[in-house]
Amino acid sequence: MTAAISEEILARLARLDNGKDSIPLHEPIFRGNEEAYVTDCIRTGWVSSVGAYVDRLEHDLAAYLDVKRAVVVVNGTAALHLALVAAGVTSQDEVLVPALTFVATANAVAYTGATPHFCDSATEHMGLCPEKLDVYLAKIARRDEQGRCINTQTGRRIAAVLPMHCMGHPLPMDRLMEVATAYGIAVIEDAAESLGSQYKGKHTGTFGHMGAISFNGNKIITAGGGGAIITNDEELGRRLKHLSTTAKSSQGGFFHHDTVGYNYRMPNLNAALCCAQLEQLPEFLRIKRSIAQQYQTLFADLPEVDFIEEPAESKSNYWLCSLRIHDAQTMAEVIDRANAAGIMVRPLWEPMHQLPMYRDCPRMELNTTETLHRSVISLPSSVNLSFNPA
């Protein structure tokens, strides 16, 4: 019975085509000025920690997202870490993190010494559920005289929340902001996967106090490796830049470092590649929507599965198209057989509270997280993907 269903899903996936022997989940595509800009860095010698492409990328990214400031850094994990540092998160604090995320979200919290506190997702968008968070905080949190949010069970401050836009699908940020504001909790959006996604006409990553983006090789656009922190707070933007460049100031040829800074700035070489990629983002977004549309059609008549569509009032970048397979056995078979056939499909990440280093962290009920983990797979989603007729 399940074999017949997985057979049927496989037959449909066999129509995917990228002109090669195997189909990765997501590969970078270079169709623009990548070579010209990178060559320019090499010819002029500006390959490292300063250069015109770094400034240009920060400018272009801020303009595209309509934010006051973008600070580019070595990767998305560093972006999250630096945002938490700038938000004043310390080892005495807890930070609310979805249990369903890439491990970097929780790791960035651990780097500050703070304790990740795991939250459940919503089925619709797979991101942190603001409604569940509201109910949960009403039970376990109170605000103290200074307005700080205290976890009454551990006595620690809940300093921040890190909502993550899963696979590029926006979560309802207005509701999340409402809940966080009511409890005096800072919001840092993990928009690593969702560059170009919008909720109610506004870019993800721009609702919270800060947002983090990733330009890793498997994201919608890449710098080779890289990330960015975005904010509408200019003072915070200056501080993030300062912290990312070893907190250095110079006066008449003398250098001074006024706090423990980080060597997190993005090299010019990576910024050059990323500038060229950013120019193509609107085109990539168009192609991604078309891929999502074709997947939707491909699986429309199969009652055993649902293609996961963008949530209400959202425009997703469809970074990784995803399929819900109702039966766990079928899902395991599909993963096995598709990968054996050279078509890469992946389950969602192992939930954070199941990992050895985070097993003892505080958490709410994580039923939806566990259900999503057992039923959702990611499908090949590179912009060079095409669909052969049946």
Ligand X SMILES: *Cc1c(COP(=O)(O)O)cnc(C)c1O
Instruction: List residues binding ligand X (CB under 6 A).
Output: 75-77, 101-102, 104-105, 164, 190, 192-193, 214, 216, 227
Nearer to ligand X, 140 or 281 (CB): 281
- Least separation in angstroms between CB 212 and ligand X: 7
**Six token digits for residue 275:** 């500038």
**DSSP classification of residue 349:** P
**Alpha-carbon dihedral 91, 95, 100, 106, rounded to 10 degrees:** -20
Q: Which is nearer to ligand X, 97 or 305 (CB)?
A: 97
Q: Which helix (H) or strand (E) holds 118?
A: strand 115-119
105 versus 316: smaller Cβ distance to ligand X: 105
Contact 210, 180 (CB under 8 A): no
CB 360 within 8 A of CB 32: no
Contacts within 8 Å (CB) and 24+ apart, 235-238: 236/69, 236/86, 236/209, 236/210, 237/68, 237/69, 237/70, 237/71, 238/69
Token digits of residue 153: 């069970």
Q: Smallest gap, in angstroms, from Cβ of residue 354 to ligand X?
A: 17
23 close to 379: Cβ distance less than 8 angstroms: no
Phi-psi region of 166 (alpha: psi -120 to 50; beta: other; left: phi over 0): beta
Tell me how far, at minimum, the Cβ of 228 lies from ligand X, in Å: 10
CB of 159 to ligand X, least distance (A): 19
CB of 385 to ligand X, least distance (A): 20
Residue 284 in tokens: 């990539």
Q: Which residue has its beta carbon closest to ligand X?
A: 76
For residue 251, give the H/E element and its range. Answer: strand 248-251
**What tokens does 100 get?**
């369903």
User: How many Å apart are CA 216 and CA 207, to the nearest integer?
Assistant: 23
In the complex with ligand X, which residue's Cβ is closer, 151 or 382? 382
Least distance in Å: CB of 194 to ligand X?
A: 9
Decide whether 101 or 197 has the Cβ nearer to ligand X.
Answer: 101
Q: Which is nearer to ligand X, 37 or 319 (CB)?
A: 319
Q: Dihedral sign for Cα 180, 185, 187, 188, please.
A: negative
* CB distance 130 to 187 below 8 Å: no
Nearer residue to ligand X within complex by CB, 105 or 330: 105
Residue 265 beta carbon to ligand X: minimum distance, rounded to whole angstroms = 14
Non-local (6+) Cβ contacts of 282 within 8 A are: none
Minimum Å distance from CB 321 to ligand X? 15
Minimum separation from the CB atom of position 211 to ligand X (A): 11
Strands 210-214 and 202-203: unpaired
Q: Which is nearer to ligand X, 101 or 121 (CB)?
A: 101
Nearer to ligand X, 168 or 237 (CB): 168
